[in-house]
């Protein structure tokens, strides 16, 4: 993993409480100057609308500062949720962390 890239792996369900905790972690990284973020969803079974809003906010902030937010490891159910919300066209989604990391090098 590139040390200039922050990797987060949220566990279980990103309901309102867990999404809030993820949001706090993301805000801390952004406030410390991180702009290249990857979230690996391999251990995540569900994401709420609150979680989706946090991802959008983080994505906009990172892009405005020359970076981005890339997602990977989404289960078929999570891919369906992102697709229904139209967010599969907003976020870059990869199968693996390595692919997401390589996308930052392009």
Model confidence pLDDT, tens digit, residues 53-69 = 999 999 999 999 999 99
Name beta bridge partners: 44.
12
Lookup result for tokens 């693996």: 96
pLDDT at 106: 75
Q: What is the pLDDT averaged over residues 11-17?
A: 93
Residues 6+ apart with CB under 8 A from 6: 29, 34, 36, 37, 38
| pLDDT score of 105 | 86
The strand pairing partners of 68, in sequence order, are: 36
What are the pLDDT digits (tens) for 67-87?
999 999 999 999 999 999 999
- 36 pLDDT band (50/70/90 cuts)? very high
Arithmetic mean of pLDDT over the chain: 94
């Amino acid at each position: 993993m590139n040390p200039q890239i922050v990797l987060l792996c949220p566990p279980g369900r990103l309901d309102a409480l867990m999404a809030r905790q993820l949001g706090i972690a993301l805000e801390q990284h952004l406030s410390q100057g991180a702009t290249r973020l990857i979230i690996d969803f391999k251990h995540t079974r569900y994401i709420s609308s609150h979680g989706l809003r946090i991802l959008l906010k983080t994505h906009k902030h990172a892009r405005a500062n020359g970076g981005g937010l890339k997602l990977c490891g989404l289960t078929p159910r999570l891919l369906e949720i992102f697709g229904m919300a139209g967010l599969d066209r907003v976020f870059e989604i990869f199968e693996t962390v390595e692919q997401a990391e390589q996308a930052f090098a392009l």
